[in-house]
Amino acid sequence: MNKNRILLVEDEINLRETICEYLKYENYDIVSAENGQEALDILDYWIPDLILCDIMMPVMDGLINFMKF
């Protein structure tokens, strides 16, 4: 069975690691990014089923346009 794929975008490292750990425990395939630009770079080669994205982050905020995916 294929795992559901989630991209987590969160700049706070402790929160990001905690959420990733929980989702992996629940058997999701997780990739994380610490800002919007990093998330867009990941989307060049990995397409998730769901994106969980913080809004206020450095470099590029969470109000980025994922509509092309």
Q: How confident is the model at residue 66 (pLDDT cuts 50, 70, 90)?
A: low
Residue linked to tokens 């750990």: 21
Q: 23 Cβ partners below 8 Å, 6+ apart?
A: 6, 8, 30
Q: How far is the C-alpha of 69 from the C-alpha of 12, rounded, in Å?
A: 25
Question: Per-residue pLDDT tens for 14-64?
Answer: 999 999 999 999 999 999 999 988 998 999 999 999 999 888 788 877 676
Beta bridge partners of 32: 8
User: Do the Cβ atoms of 60 and 66 come closer than 8 Å?
Assistant: no
Q: How confident is the model at residue 68 (pLDDT cuts 50, 70, 90)?
A: low
Instruction: Return the ∠ at Cα 40 (arms to 39 and 43), rounded to 5°.
Output: 90
pLDDT confidence of residue 46: 96
pLDDT confidence of residue 1: 58
